A and B are shown apart, each in its own frame.
Chain A
Amino acid sequence: MTGHLPALLIAVPLIGGVISLFLRGRFLPWAWAQIITTAVLVITCGLVEAVLTGGTITYRFGGWPQEWGIAYRIDALNVFVLFIVALIGCVATIYARYSVDDEIPSDRHHLFYCIWLLALVGLLGITATADVFNVYVLLEVSSLTLYALIAMGKNRDRRALTGALRYVIIGSVGASFILLGIGYLLMVTGTLNLPDMARQLAAMPEAARNRTVLVAFAFLFVGLSVKMALFPLHMWLPNAYGSAPSAVSALVAATATKVGVYMAVRFLFSVFGPGFTFTALSTEVGDFTFTCDGVLLVLACLGVLYTGIEAMRQRELKWILAYSSLGQISYMVIGLALLNRDGVTGGIIHLLNHALIKGGLFMAAGCAVFALASQRLDDLNGLGRRMPRTAAAILVGGFGLIGFPLTAGFVSKWYLVKGALAAGHPTVAVVLMLGSVFALVYVWRVVERMYFTAPAADAPIPRRLPLSMEVCTWFLVGGSVLIGIAGKPFADLAGRAADEALGGHALMISTPATPSSPQAVEP
């Protein structure tokens, strides 16, 4: 049974999603989704345990040799991402019960939970698979479902429609670029299997001078940048996150872009390999050397500054959080582009930290929307007295965004700054600090409204919040504080994932192709 966990990870939510189409009413579809997401979380925990004790798992569907068939490959790096997705998926489903009741017409609930589960299939599948075409298909599964989930925010805010459509157009172009890049790679390597592809590329003499490989790299780089919303290809994100249904915002913000960042790590580090991506691709123009990590660092630093300023200008809570997400994604990219163990660890642990912080904050924003039917800052005046627990959650989560000591944000910042200094990029360390200052300003704008502004005389009395919504919010916010206080075990996990990202390629290309005997688990 445990040998088949990688297949069950996808099969359970996929079949569960289809079954939920046949359930009716408000309670049944949700309860079913809750059972499925809990099962997924249990399966993922099993995988975490298996990978931590037994090392990398390769699962071959149908027992085909992995060069021919489809294989799932789960190592220290993607099991970390799988855990984030499964955990947030489970918690967000608990949260969704009343939030979705409030925002989606009740005759649509079974459809909502169907695509909700299918979105999880896509996100988990992209992360687990070792087949590049599978990556594309599951990427489209997750994207298509997310477009629909976001558009369902139309009942509360019609901008959800324009946001979703922009996401459809830009996201599809990005995915098509990834498809093109995969096509060029298929042309030169003749394989779709990820480790096999890495092996072929590494064996190719002068791969960095091969026009086809370069074009493949360029298409993949741009496509992945769109999917992880790296500045300046981020314009689809704020409207989509800002106007989606609250539960969807929490799920998407905490998982979708993380999976995008993971895909970038997979392609840049594992398929092409650090030697190709960051050394062989360097181009000298005059006295200046362009490198891939340099380009990533510059884009991410500009992203931190630009989105920080944009976040300060927003007048709605969820839009502030959306712009802040962009800055936080830039932190992860900075960490990865630093290329040393501290930096990459910082980038990877920030995947988890940001998922908890931003998931919690979007849930808190959802609580405010539920109780006040508004997310405008003007309507949040005096929230500290009107909804003390929600306001406190926003405050604590905001500290995490700033990177205040004793919060998870501090742990990531610590590793990132350490990595930046070790890599000899003091400017990057300064940008990281500036990012915190910007975060302080935009968080303060909210805090000032909540605690130091009297509510308008005709301000509505907030509706009573369901317990489950508050518990979920505090679970994620509290989790982020827990990592801030006792982050060592999580940092160790992220460190193992960083080792996998940095050293996995060398290991992958040195292992010979797997024998063709059907065998589920590789030692």
Chain B
Amino acid sequence: MNLVTALANYWVAIAIMMIGLYGIIAKRNLIKQAIALGIFQTGIFLFYVSMAVVKGGTVPVWFTLADGSKHPGPYDNPLPHCLMLTAIVVSVSVFAVAIAIIINIRRSYGTIEEDEILAIEAGEGPGT
């Protein structure tokens, strides 16, 4: 039981990653694959952010409180948050590139179903 409650954040992160990974493998619609990729990466963000948490920790900002005590006491590790800001930007760019390519595929092949595209390519044989 302890394994479930104490590590709940990791279970959730891993579950989200696996949902995404399943989608990438199982879905034949290219847009759904791109979305699944986004879900997979979101799971990773959650993993990083939850690993930064310190029990009772607050924001890692230096300031003096009204009673003269220095803040912070225990504070969360800010490094993983910074890393994830970058990773979120990367993830958005990947999604944008994927969507741009899918739009071009739709224009060129007339479909975004992977099976139909493979059938068209197999019918064409080697191109020029």
Contact = CB atoms under 8 A, between A and B. Distances in A.
Interface in B78-109: 79-80, 83, 86-87, 90, 93-94, 97-98, 100-102, 104-105, 108-109
Contacts of B98: 165, 168-169
Contacts of A136: 87
A173 B37 contact: yes
Contact of A169 (B33, B48, B104, B128): B33
Interface string B20-56: 0100100000100110010011001001100100000
A165 B101 contact: yes
B128 A376 contact: yes
A402 to B, nearest CB: 24
A148 interface: yes
Given A144-B94, A172-B37, A161 B101 contact: yes
Given A144-B94, A172-B37, 9 more contacts: A136-B87, A162-B121, A168-B34, A168-B98, A172-B94, A176-B41, A183-B48, A243-B127, A375-B128
Interface stretch (A100-108, A152-160, A324-332): A152-160
B117 interface: yes
Given A159-B127, A315-B126, A144 B109 contact: no
B15 to A, nearest CB: 14
Contact of B128 (A133, A164, A373): A373
Contacts of A151: 100-101, 104
A110 to B, nearest CB: 17
> Interface size class for chain B?
20 to 34
A227 B98 CA distance: 18
A140 interface: yes
> Interface size class for chain A?
35 or more
23 contacts: A133-B86, A137-B86, A137-B90, A140-B90, A140-B93, A140-B94, A148-B97, A151-B101, A154-B104, A157-B128, A159-B121, A161-B104, A161-B109, A168-B94, A168-B98, A169-B33, A173-B40, A176-B40, A179-B44, A180-B44, A315-B126, A373-B128, A375-B128
A165 B37 CA distance: 12
Majority secondary structure of chain B interface residues (helix, strand, loop or mixed): helix
Contacts of A176: 40-41, 44
Nearest to A239: B121
Interface of B: 21, 24, 30, 33-34, 37, 40-41, 44, 47-48, 51, 79-80, 83, 86-87, 90, 93-94, 97-98, 100-102, 104-105, 108-109, 117, 121, 126-128
Given A137-B90, A183-B47, A374-B128, A158 B97 contact: no
Given A169-B24, A183-B51, A157 B127 contact: yes
Given A176-B40, A176-B44, A179-B87, A161 B105 contact: yes
B108 A158 contact: yes
A470 interface: no
B120 to A, nearest CB: 9
A164 B127 contact: no
Given A169-B33, A176-B44, A179-B44, A161 B108 contact: yes
A316 B101 CA distance: 24
A165 B44 contact: no
A316 B40 contact: no
Given A162-B105, A165-B101, A376 B126 contact: yes
A164 B44 contact: no
A362 B123 CA distance: 26
Contacts of A172: 37, 41, 94
A187 interface: yes
A187 B47 CA distance: 11
B72 to A, nearest CB: 18
Contacts of A375: 128
A140 B96 CA distance: 13
A395 B104 CA distance: 37
A323 interface: no
